[in-house]
Amino acid sequence: MPNEQILEKARFPRPDFIRRDFISLDGEWEFSFCSQLEHPFPEGYQDRPLPGKILVPFSYTCNASGIGHEIYEDCVCYARDLIVQENKLSGEALLKFGAADYCCDVWINDTYAGSHQGGHTQFEFPVASYLHPGKNRIFLRVRDDRTCDRPRGKQYWKDTPDRCWYPDTIGIWKSVWLEFVPKKYIKRVKLTPDTDNRCLKLEAYLNESFSGTLKADIFFHDTLKKTAAFSLTDTHYICESLHIAEEDFVDEVHYWSCEKPNLYHLSLFLSEANTLEDDTEEYNTVIGDSVECYFGMRKIETREGKVFLNNRLLFQRLVLDQGYWKDSLMTPPSKDALKQDIHLTKMMGFNGARKHQKLEDPFYYYWADVTGLLVWCEMPSPYQFNDCEISSFLSEWQEIICEAYNHPCIITWVPFNESWGIRNVFKDQQQQNLLAAAYHLTKAYDPTRLISTNDGWEVPDETDIFCIHDYEGDADTLRQRYQDIGAFSRTGIPNRPALTQPSVYRSQPFFLSEYGGVALLCDSSEENWGYNEFAETFEEYVQRVKALTETAGNLPGCCGYCYTQLTDVFQEVNGLLTAKREPKVPFEMLKKIFI
């Protein structure tokens, strides 16, 4: 896409699913802890404000919210006024939340609008019937306990952060906005590239049955490449293939890759025009909903123990990125902060990132799409196996797949990490069944991407890639351990079996998907830590990072590595950058190591 188009898309809450008629609701909201309310909520606050203020989309637990309250509260309330013009209420209005952790109830004026459960994904409510011209009141109550049988990610369940877990994020932590749409509208678009057949599989889900026409315009840069129109008769779903043809039949499709992250722009128009033969003037007078998306033509696959991107051998140089900031926790302090993290990642020579234990803000994936950064998308872990964990895990994992599906940068799904939430999976058949279910469920939604089913150790049969975490500090020991991957798979790292029992290694591509974690002695404290001994000098730090990385990159049959980690995160000071995104050693030195 041209630079102007790239920057234009960045103005919207979801650059991958744009509607132009929207109101951002980020900013100052009224706020209170439920324990401090003096009147029933929300009815007692129709005509009076809540006692406090908060800056949305930041959690009250971080300084960026304007509160920075460290004491745990399990229930919080929000409210704000909203002015709506009468001409906006002829259709539907969608109140959208990027994420609110964990159980959310919403009221508009004096009417209950709905609820959502899950802490990491987008959700929405159709609210036009509850709004009226002029001033309206939005109320939100969010409850978030410390139970461990639901997806938590890196949010610790005790008062003081410990080891590799960090402070709670409670309540709204991603953007909030209101979109105005016709009464019948496009609810979701699923875009699947097929590079072998040079086409795009387009699936559109509507909010209700519809008769009319769906028109699709595909652009590359500013050039219209294809226009297609499809007739709809009393349906809420359409599935069509769009051939991506170039002007000259000898030219290739513009593939998406790290070196050339080509993106096609897709505009969709829903019209009540009855036939495809309606003339353009009539078509335009009855146009309804419109959505702007984009896609990349790329294919990721495994063959004979190797990984290929667009039929070319791919070696992945990833960095573990947890997406935390000291003053704003999981919420980036600005949209530019996400763009900066990607820029810094590429400056150090990495061609990808493993987004660890969170579904990141949509702008991260957008800038990764635009700049050509490969991404592994990972499920935030639960930690207590029971029926509630199974239900909440599978429900939220499906939402994550659907929300992130269209981003070409995402090439790997990671449902589980290091057997978190399934601690007995080595032999426990019930927990192994959950692993298998997660793998097959993910393949049902998306057969095109790779899956690392349990990244780290205790890898099951049902996985596309064989991913091991090994924080061995001695490069020679690391080298010897992986000379024969088949033999290693029967043992594993010390105290950690490589496979579940009775799984066997089936020559899947091998990744060292966590290693390194070197920390400097000058960053040490009673709480702070890194893997193995602290490096006493900057020279020793560089030498250790270099030796481990050169070893990882040259292991027999290794298809890639993931260095831990991009930045320091609270007490975990093993980042290449500080928590403020400052390099610990010059970028030039790091780039020589990782490129």
Residue 219's DSSP bridge partners are 224, 265
**Does some domain include residue 5?**
no
DSSP-assigned letters across all residues of 196-241: TTTEEEEEEEEEEEEEEEEEEEEEETTEEEEEEEEEEEEEEEEEEE
d(CA 534, CA 540): 9
Domain boundary among 160, 181, 202: 181
344 shares its domain with 478: yes
- Structural tokens at position 595: 């490129």
d(CA 226, CA 318): 36
Q: Identify the CATH number of the domain in which residue 244 sits.
A: 2.60.40.10
290 shares its domain with 345: no
d(CA 399, CA 392): 11
Tokens 């066997």 — which residue? 504
117 shares its domain with 211: no
On the CB side of 514, CA atoms within 13 Å amount to 24
Domain boundary among 181, 201, 222: 181
**Does some domain include residue 202?**
yes
Positions of E strands within 221-373: 223-243, 264-271, 287-295, 300-303, 306-309, 312-313, 316-321, 352-355
419 shares its domain with 490: yes
Q: Are 456 and 420 a contacting pair, CB within 8 Å?
A: no
**Does some domain include residue 10?**
no
**Does some domain include residue 310?**
no
**Does some domain include residue 504?**
yes
42 shares its domain with 177: yes
H-type helices in 348-382, by residue range?
A: 362-371
241 shares its domain with 387: no
**Does some domain include residue 308?**
no
Closest CA to 179 of 343, 17, 416: 17
74 shares its domain with 60: yes
**Does some domain include residue 13?**
no
Cβ-based neighbours of 363, under 8 Å, separated by 6 or more: 10, 15, 332, 335, 338, 339
Q: pLDDT (tens digit, 0 to 9) for every residue of the chain, 595 residues total?
A: 667 777 788 889 999 999 999 999 999 999 999 999 999 999 999 999 999 999 999 999 999 999 998 888 999 999 999 999 999 999 999 999 999 999 999 999 989 999 999 999 999 999 999 999 999 999 999 999 999 999 998 898 887 888 888 989 999 999 999 999 999 999 999 999 999 999 999 999 999 999 999 999 999 988 899 999 999 999 999 999 999 876 566 567 899 999 999 999 999 999 987 655 555 555 555 579 999 999 999 999 999 999 999 999 999 999 999 999 999 999 999 999 999 999 999 999 999 999 999 999 999 999 999 999 999 999 999 999 999 999 999 999 999 999 999 999 999 999 999 999 999 999 999 999 999 999 999 999 999 999 999 999 999 999 999 999 999 999 999 999 999 999 999 999 999 999 999 999 999 999 999 999 999 999 988 888 889 999 999 999 999 999 999 999 999 999 999 999 999 999 999 999 999 999 999 999 999 999 8
143 shares its domain with 258: no
174 shares its domain with 229: no
pTM above 0.75, yes or no: yes
177 shares its domain with 192: no
What range defines the domain where residue 277 resides? 186-295
Q: Based on the structure, what is the number of domains in the chain? A: 3
**Does some domain include residue 306?**
no
380 shares its domain with 346: yes
211 shares its domain with 172: no
Domain boundary among 181, 210, 235: 181
